[in-house]
Amino acid sequence: MNSLHQLDYVVFSLYLILVGSYGYWVFQRDKTKNSTTKGFFLAEGSLTWWAIGASLIASNISAEHFIGMSGSGFAIGLAISSYEWMSAATLIVVAVFFIPIYLKNKIYTMPQLLSLRYNDTVATIMAVFWLLLYVFINLTSILYLGSLALETITGLQFEYCMAALAIFAILITLGGMKVIGYTDVIQVVVLILGGLATTYLALNMVSDKFGGDGVFDGLSLLKTKADDHFHMIFSKGDKYYYELPGLSILIGGMWINNLNYWGCNQYIVQRALGADLKTARSGIIFAAFLKLLIPLICVIPGIAAYVLYSNGSLQQEMVDLNGVVKPDHAYPSLMNLLPIGLKGLAFAALTAAIVASLASKCNSIATIFSLDIYKKILKKDATERNTVLVGRYAVWVSFAIALLVTPQLRHLEQAYQFIQEYSNYITPGAFALFSLGLFWKKTTSNAAIVAAVLTLPLSLLFKMLPEWIRTEPIPFLDRTLWVYLILVVLMVTVSLIEGRKKEETKGLAIDSSMFKVSDSFVVVSVLICGVLAALYTVFW
């Protein structure tokens, strides 16, 4: 039944009251500090390691994980977990090599870093691009998928779900980064508890279906009944090789995709930019640990739904009006079978994931617009108060645009896949620009512009080339890797040619001592990598 019981609404209301009250208390406690740019945009270094880690996860996890990843678990299996598990390894790299440079150079925004490393032209180009990307793609896609999921679960109209999510996210965003960071702790707790409730139900259903006893039997039965869904690496020729191309998951394009997302993305790294190095690293390694758990609440339910459907259950729930099987129905279908009360908790978890991501995206939009466009270009003498006020206006304008654009996405059959495919065409260029800029001092501004300009044409070329020469399509992650490598070669060439005519190029304040890590960080990193090695060995 696609509706919530009265008790479910009570549970959900308690979640809203808890988050709202806590956020208001945090805001009132440091109201004066929230009027400064560092306080509003970076929480003035007051976020603890556990708040940073929780906020990183809350910013990342949204409807596409609960709905889309469970759907991929139904169709593909455990292999889709690579996006989560390889992120854990990526976060360790970001903590060791990227964050120290950002903090040493007192970076607030990614465009600011580009301005410091290259020039204002490169920074402004990328600032405008990121604003367009965040508003028209990230914000609208999360709002669309989130509203669609809530509509499916509650039976409420899409427009009502969209407006409610936007209002809730705006209220949290207007409180500033400190409110976002600390309310994200509650959001993550609710997210995990609600997700585990759905996983528990799914495994119990599998166990009962085949005469098992409890969730552990259900987990064992999943492996027995769907062995083909428990392989992490696909060989060439497999039907899902295009989505997850073999060893590229471990040593290829997945790294480019993840390092760009976790290391060069404003709304992700912003959580750590206001902290000291030890706190930032501790928060990031905590997020890496949490990443190991995400497949348990997002992928396993999808595999369980596949086993149940393959053996006669969920026959109506998993098909559309035309009788076509829809993998993305897996998670909502399981949620609708939860007992009264637990369904409210799972609904709160899904809402928490959506709202936290919306707030994070919009805070980054406000940060980039206020600091890199308004204060730097439009009004250089703007006061702290005016800059923060403009940031709050940017929140309202961003959501106004998103609310106008989001309904148009309903005309697309594969909205999320479409957005992911085409927005990632920019990833190779963005990461080439950052990676060489951070770690090769001779990289020039013109080389950076070459990468920014050519990333889209080269990505499109690799997309269309197989059709022209009539060969198999190039997997998405392989395409990302090849374009990145070509851009790096071009940037190195341009930089070396210019290096003969110019004096030493601009660089950042970097010294080898900043990359040293504590013994405890090493121990936790080794444990995480050990778990990853074990998982890929067992489920190869």
Residue 420 has what pLDDT? 59
CA distances to 7, 10, 20, 344, 425 from 13, in Å: 10, 5, 10, 9, 41
pLDDT tens digit at each of 540 positions of the chain: 456 788 888 888 888 888 878 777 777 776 655 556 666 666 566 678 888 888 888 778 877 778 778 888 888 889 889 989 999 999 999 999 999 999 988 888 888 888 888 888 888 888 888 888 888 888 888 888 788 778 877 778 888 988 998 988 888 877 776 777 777 777 788 878 888 888 998 999 899 888 888 888 988 999 888 888 998 888 887 888 877 888 888 888 889 989 998 998 887 887 788 788 999 999 999 999 999 999 998 899 999 999 998 888 888 878 776 777 878 788 888 888 888 888 888 888 888 878 888 888 888 888 888 888 888 888 887 787 888 888 889 889 999 999 998 887 766 544 555 555 666 778 898 899 999 999 888 889 899 989 888 988 898 888 888 777 767 778 888 888 999 999 999 999 999 988 755 544 466 778 888 889 899 999 999 999 999 999 999 888
**Would you state the pLDDT for residue 487?**
96
Cα–Cα distances in Å, from 292 out to 53, 131, 489?
A: 13, 31, 35
Query: pTM for this structure?
Result: 0.86
* Residues near 116 by beta carbon (within 8 Å), at least 6 away in sequence: 105, 107, 506, 508
Amino acid identity of residue 533, one-letter, is A
Question: Among 120, 40, 480, 100, which residue's Cα sits nearest to residue 269?
Answer: 100
How distant, in Å, are the alpha carbons of 289, 501, 523 from that of 526?
11, 45, 5
Per-residue pLDDT tens digits for 128-142: 888 888 888 888 888
CB 56 within 8 A of CB 138: no
pLDDT of residue 421: 62
* Helix-strand-coil split of the chain, %, nearest 5: 80, 0, 20
pLDDT of the residue at 378 = 82
DSSP state of 323: S
Contact 156, 150 (CB under 8 A): yes
Phi/psi for 441 (5° steps) reads: -65, -25
CB 457, CB 123: distance < 8 Å: no
Report the distance separating Cα 302 and Cα 206, nearest Å: 12
The pLDDT of residue 418: 55
What would the pLDDT profile of 314-369 be if each residue is shown by its tens digit? 888 787 767 778 787 888 888 888 888 888 888 888 888 788 888 888 888 888 88
